[in-house]
Amino acid sequence: MGYEEIEHTADWALRVWAPDLPGLLSEAARGMNALAGVKLNATKRASRQIHLTAPDAESLLVAFLSELLYLAEQENLAFDSFDLTIEAKAQEGLQLDGVLHGASIAEISKAIKAVTFHNLHIQKTPDGLEATVVFDV
Amino acid sequence: MELKHLRKISDYEWEIPQNYRHDMRASVRIFATRRLLEQIADDQSLEQAVNATTLPGVISPVVVMPDMHQGYGFPIGGVAATAYPHGVISPGAIGYDINCGVRLLASGIEHEAALPYLDTLATLLNAYCPSGVGSEGVVRVQVEELNKILREGAHWALKRGYATEEDLERTEEGGKLEDADPSQVSERAKQRGREQIGSLGAGNHFIEVDVVEQIFDPGAARAMGLQEGCLAVQIHCGSRGLGHQVCTDYVQSFQHAVHKYGIHLPDRELVCAPMDSPEGKAYMAAMRAAANFAFANRQLLAHSARRAFEETFAGRFKKEWRLRQVYDIAHNMGKLETHEREGQRLRVCVHRKGATRAFGPGSPELPAEYQDIGQPVLVPGSMGTASWVLVGTETSMERSWGSTCHGAGRVLSRAKAKKQVRGERLREELEAHGVKVRAGSMSGLAEEAPQAYKDVDMVVETVTHAGIARKVARLRPVAVIKG
């Protein structure tokens, strides 16, 4: 389970890997925080419930990270711990439910405009799943 | 892509033929020197341009500018025209920062005379033009007022006393795109925009005070109010979180639309919908609303810059401190335009992502004073280096869908720039060269270091030799405000 920044001329790209899809989303969120230079307030913890549906795993990953960007901008919150469950549904595709645990942002050094679908493929590996996410900055 | 696949048309123009890949619907025309091509050969710029040719309804050629670099889905520096109304519109081919653009204001204050006051000016600009991650704007509006901004753009600012008639006349589209529909903009996007009107943001956005260093076309410079040796101000920003959210919303919803309309694309970031479909119409209305937000945003920042100039210089100078608008242009936009191809008039949606509209002389869209010279084109360089004022030409109308370059274009990734440059050191170097710097983040400063960009002079030489723009003036920075 982990992430690493990889080269991209204009924007930011992050390679993420994890044993399963909830883990991949959680690790991508941690990587995004690291890229943006997010530091949390140590004292005041906060949590938010999350509910998302998406037609496929890549769309769910983009929707999840986009939700976190919105919460960072609008509520000044970032999250470092995640309880996520993902179920396949007949109509909606994938449904994510869970709780985000974090705190208010003490410091953030970079603005991320958006999470993109650019060349986004969640691939199976011997150890689980892997994806490269490109952010517009 | 290996350069052997390119067909050389001239020293400044190349082509990727339509038979390069089986799914191409158009050829790619590249404006670049061999040296510039070698700089981008290792990244994905040209493959992304080829991917853009797969958009349904695209008309040859897809054009790429010399400041091109790898983006996401569509290359930065790319221009694609799709046939209206059955061709598609692609949010990813316009970008997240809808109507990111540049505004240039000119003063009559001589740089030499202003030298003792530049520190004060930089401090006031920094104070009055909010910048940085999550920066809030100079005004906070309720949703009802925001809807007016989304419909009226810079005209809203005129009604509120933040603009002059001349500002609007000297703004692309008069500062307002028609047929913008706030009801197609999500509540989430409005929530983000409500607090950010009149703010610069972060990343590569900036306010820069320049001195007009050299004039190449005295007649055009006179029409624009540019005087050699005098100060000017550039404002580079866009539609902030509102535009980012509009693009995010529609890139997500268009993932369904491509299935509905049987569109197959090599990259999901290029998702699109026919312009005459409900999805396509909804995005166009929302994109225009976001573009209007950006016009109003730059107008408010111009108002703040004028306040800083007045407080710094009024009383010390006569009227020379007044900032008159030269022009305001977009470089991330999708616009319905009429172009001539082989004697036929075509109605097309021109997607420009990191490319500037560059209409030639006589274009009805231009204000009276620019009818003879062509549309002003503003090309900011990298931080601390020169910027250029150009004008559009007849050739740009013929060969590049009335478009030209938008800046220097990155060559170094942000990660590499951060490794090679320290922000504090860069600030010291810039200050030593007479450039006042106000920056919110030193690592952000390092990412935007001049080393991370191509040589803007080389980019400008390329477009002017290719004939798709003409030089008017070169600007040199004396103060930079960054988020």
Strands A114-115 and A128-136, how do they pair? antiparallel
Both tokens of A103, joined, read 């705190």
| B255 contacts in chain A (CB < 8 Å) | 55, 59, 117
pLDDT tens string B229-249: 999 999 999 999 999 999 999
Q: How far is CA B340 from CA B303, B330, B351, B397, B404, in A?
A: 38, 22, 17, 8, 17
Q: Nearest Cα to B267, choosing from B477, B419, B55, B81?
A: B55
Place B469 in a pLDDT band, splitting at 50, 70 and 90: very high
Provide the annotated active-site residues of B.
406
A117 and B247 in contact by Cβ < 8 A?
Answer: no
Confidence (pLDDT) at B448: 80
Q: Where do the domains of chain B lie?
A: 3-349+356-411+453-482
Place B202 in a pLDDT band, splitting at 50, 70 and 90: confident
Backbone angles phi, psi at B126, to 5 degrees: -65, -35
Q: Nearest Cα to B399, choosing from B37, B14, B63, B52?
A: B63
First to last CA, chain A: 25
- Flag whether pLDDT at B445 surpasses 90: no
Cis peptide before B380 (omega within 30 of 0): no
Distance of CA B41 to the CA centre of its chain: 24
Confidence (pLDDT) at B106: 98
- A58 contacts: CB under 8 Å, gap ≥ 6: A117, A120, A121, A122, A131, B268
Distance of CA B437 to the CA centre of its chain: 22
- CA atoms within 13 Å, Cβ hemisphere of B84: 16
Q: Is the dihedral of CA B45, B51, B56, B62 positive or negative?
A: positive
Confidence (pLDDT) at B110: 96
| CA B150 – CA B172 distance, rounded (Å) | 16
- Is-contact B397 B375, C-beta < 8 A? no
E strand or H helix at A134, and its extent? strand A128-136
- Is-contact B451 B36, C-beta < 8 A? no
Confidence (pLDDT) at B316: 92
Confidence (pLDDT) at B32: 96
Q: How distant is the Cα of A109 from the closest Cα of chain B, in angstroms?
A: 6
Backbone angles phi, psi at B2, to 5 degrees: -75, 140
B72 and A108 in contact by Cβ < 8 A?
Answer: no
Mean pLDDT of B300-321: 94
CATH of segment(s) B3-349+356-411+453-482:
3.90.1860.10
| CA B292 – CA B285 distance, rounded (Å) | 11
Mean pLDDT of A1-16: 87
- Is-contact B250 B95, C-beta < 8 A? no
pLDDT tens string B38-94: 988 878 899 999 999 999 999 999 999 999 998 899 999 999 999 999 999 999 999
| B414 contacts in chain A (CB < 8 Å) | 8, 11-12, 137
Mean pLDDT of B350-356: 98
pLDDT tens string B361-379: 999 999 999 999 999 999 9
Cβ pairs bridging A and B (under 8 Å) = 105
- Flag whether pLDDT at B414 surpasses 80: no
Report the residue of chain A nearest B409, measured CA to CA: A10
- Flag whether pLDDT at B292 surpasses 90: yes
pLDDT tens string A70-129: 999 999 999 999 999 999 988 879 999 999 999 999 999 888 999 999 999 999 999 999
Confidence (pLDDT) at B37: 93
Report the residue of chain B nearest A135, measured CA to CA: B72
Confidence (pLDDT) at B482: 86
Residues forming a β-bridge with A12: A135
A134 and B443 in contact by Cβ < 8 A?
Answer: no
Q: How far is CA B400 from CA B82, B187, B219, in A?
A: 13, 37, 25
Place B413 in a pLDDT band, splitting at 50, 70 and 90: confident
Report the residue of chain B nearest A53, measured CA to CA: B252
Confidence (pLDDT) at B42: 78
- Flag whether pLDDT at B439 surpasses 90: no
- Flag whether pLDDT at B209 surpasses 80: yes
- Flag whether pLDDT at B259 surpasses 90: yes
Q: Nearest Cα to B189, choosing from B254, B246, B250?
A: B246
B483 and A118 in contact by Cβ < 8 A?
Answer: no
| CA B143 – CA B191 distance, rounded (Å) | 8
Average pLDDT of every residue of chain B: 94
B267 and A119 in contact by Cβ < 8 A?
Answer: yes
- Is-contact A102 A77, C-beta < 8 A? yes
Share of chain A above pLDDT 90, in %: 85
| CA B290 – CA B146 distance, rounded (Å) | 11
Mean pLDDT of B395-402: 97
Range of the domain at A106: 2-136
Confidence (pLDDT) at B272: 98
Confidence (pLDDT) at A110: 84
CATH number at residue A25: 3.55.10.10
Mean pLDDT of B3-11: 94
- Flag whether pLDDT at B265 surpasses 90: yes
Mean pLDDT of B340-345: 91
Share of chain B above pLDDT 90, in %: 80
Amino acid letter for position B427: R
Q: CA angle, B253 as apex, B82 and A108 as ends, to 5°?
A: 105
- Flag whether pLDDT at B419 surpasses 90: no
| B244 contacts in chain A (CB < 8 Å) | 113-114, 136
